[in-house]
């Protein structure tokens, strides 16, 4: 499968469909990161609760993002203490790509940031116009995962001209 999806489809397929069903890992890359509420157990709850549930199930959750999230995200993050040691996070000011990789078998890549408006979680009058592709094609998933993983491993850090803005630079290089 290699499909073009847009707007609310991103939320329904990726955020509500794939992510909660992850078995081994979820890798999330975004430029902007905000507190996003999603459909959960017949109601609405923070996406961070979904991630917390995954951490409880021993699913690896990695998050690459370009800037610190806002106060609402931090407040919700603090409500799930297992995320503090259970989610791995790297802040890289050069990250602008957006992707979601689930279990190394499914991938989304496109324009949507990990926000309610970006991922399509908000009402049709408040969400952004976004698009991307979803795939389970091994080669394509591998390429999307390699982009994420090369940044995660710090492959670009030594030559980066923005190190002074990167809080995680020293950690990436050991």
User: What are the tens digits of pLDDT across the range 119-142?
Assistant: 999 988 999 999 999 999 999 999
Helix 47-56 to helix 71-78 angle (10° resolution) is 30
Instruction: Please tell me the class of the 2-172 domain.
Output: alpha beta
pTM above 0.85?
yes
User: What are the tens digits of pLDDT across the range 69-81?
Assistant: 989 999 999 999 9
> For the residues of 65-83, what is the DSSP string, one character each?
ESS---HHHHHHHHT-THH
User: In the chain, where are the structural domains located?
Assistant: 2-172
């Amino acid at each position: 499968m290699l499909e073009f999806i847009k707007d609310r489809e991103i939320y329904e397929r990726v955020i509500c469909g794939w992510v909660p069903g992850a078995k081994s890992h979820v890798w999330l890359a975004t430029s902007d990161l905000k507190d996003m509420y999603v459909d959960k157990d017949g109601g609405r709850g923070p996406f961070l609760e979904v991630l917390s549930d995954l951490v409880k199930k021993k699913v690896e959750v990695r998050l690459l993002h370009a800037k610190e999230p806002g106060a609402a995200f931090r407040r919700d993050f603090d409500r799930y203490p297992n995320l503090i040691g259970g989610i791995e996070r790297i802040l890289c000011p050069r990250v602008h790509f957006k992707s979601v990789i689930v279990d190394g078998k499914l991938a989304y890549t496109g324009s949507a940031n990990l926000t309610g408006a970006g991922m399509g979680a908000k009402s049709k009058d408040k969400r952004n116009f976004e698009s991307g592709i979803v795939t389970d094609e091994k080669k394509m998933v591998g390429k999307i995962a390699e982009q994420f993983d090369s940044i995660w491993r710090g492959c670009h850090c030594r030559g980066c001209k923005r190190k002074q803005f990167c809080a995680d630079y020293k950690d990436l290089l050991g």
